[in-house]
Amino acid sequence: MSFVYSHPFTGLANGLNTMQGGGAVGGWVELGRTTLGSAGDTITVSSLSDKRYYMILTNILPVTNSVDYKWILNNDTGTNYSRRRNLDGGTDGTDVSQSNVFPLGIGASKPAFGVNYISNLSSKEKLSIEHTVDQQTAGAATAPRRGEHVAKWANTSSAINRYDQKNANSGDYDTGSEVVVLGWDPDDTHTNNFWEELASVDLSGGAADNLSSGTITAKKYLWIQYYVQASGSAGANFQFNNDTGSNYAHRRQDNGTSDATATSQTDIEMRVSYGDSFGNMFIINNASNEKLVIAHEIDNPTAGAATAPQRTERVAKWTNTSNQITEIDLNNDGGGDFDTGTIMKVWGAD
């Protein structure tokens, strides 16, 4: 089984290993980046090339007081935006005919991380899917917060060429706060891909209880995909840098139920059930900040179309503030095993 990027939202498919890193052709390319050199309230990334899809990585570091963010496209401040959002698994809220998209709702002086996908066909409204995590109180005794957001920009005549992110609260973004805009297009032939493959490991030698990336190059942004082929009741959790202390906390929603939190944990528990599963995870990996995680997973507890799969939306943090992640371990915490065919791939970028 191989991970193939035949489409930017496709993670797992049959075929050859044509990764977005290394020398592969046509993966996600960096179109623009703005990193604040001093405290401020606006991060602008302009002169963006016209690509069919965008992936936007947002890393917010506050100075003091409350910060938040709202964004606009192409400097359009008219009432041409609408959104639907959910915070911490609560009731959806909607806003229509807005002058911006206001996705997060941090309302605190805490670091935050977001991953946003936007479709960018000039003749259609621009559709956005965004997931966010903010740290909340430092330390493993407090779980992070999460946000799920969809939005649209009602423009049907222009491709996106500029992204502005503005603080929507009383504080300031600190030095180092950053927005990175990536693009993907089916006609791309470039080889300067943003995501570099750091590890590709699998259990080709037989069943086991651990799958480790081994030592990987430290990168600011990490993207992890994994597939667990279960033998019996195999659970799954993640640990970083062999840290088995109570230095993890997470918030999750299973199958649309109310959010559950777990604090002062020895790992990040991933799975709803004990069947085969596929997961997708992003991490902001600044050495001096708690590591913030956004993850989504599908579990298949029973084979066949008569049983629906299960889903999990999750955010997490590893509270280490002195080291970047340089090893990722996927561990079994159930009574069974990870079977042959279990696989994990890790990409990174600075």
Mean of per-residue pLDDT scores for the chain: 88
Average pLDDT rounded to a whole number, residues 219-248: 91
Note whether residue 23 is domain-resident: no
Indicate if 33 and 180 belong to the same structural domain: yes
Same domain, 299 and 332: yes
**Domain boundary, last residue among 135, 159, 184:** 184
Task: pLDDT band for 18, please (50, 70, 90 cuts).
Answer: very low
Question: How do residues 287-334 score in pLDDT, each as one tens digit?
Answer: 999 999 999 998 887 888 888 888 889 999 999 999 999 999 998 887
Its pTM stands at 0.91
Domain that holds residue 117: 29-184
Residue 16 domain-assigned (yes or no): no
Is pLDDT larger for residue 102 or for residue 85? Answer: 85
Contacts of 338 (CB under 8 A, 6+ apart): 203, 207, 208, 209, 210, 211, 228, 229, 230, 231, 234, 236, 330, 332
Together in a domain, 172 and 205: no
CATH of the domain at 228: 2.60.120
Q: Which residues neighbour 183 within 8 Å (Cβ) at sequence distance 6 or greater?
A: 28, 29, 31, 48, 49, 51, 53, 54, 55
Do 124 and 205 fall into the same domain? no
The verdict on residue 4 lying in a domain is: no
Same-domain status, 267 and 308: yes
Name the domain boundary from 164, 184, 204: 184
39 assigned to some structural domain:
yes
Instruction: Confirm whether 298 is domain-assigned.
Output: yes
Q: Which two tokens stand for residue 33?
A: 């980046």
In a domain, 204, yes or no: yes
Q: Examine the domain organization and report whether 207 and 344 are in the same domain.
A: yes
pLDDT at 276 (0 to 100) = 84
Give the total number of structural domains in the chain. Answer: 2
pLDDT, tens only, 22-75: 456 789 999 999 999 999 999 999 999 999 999 999 999 988 777 888 899 999
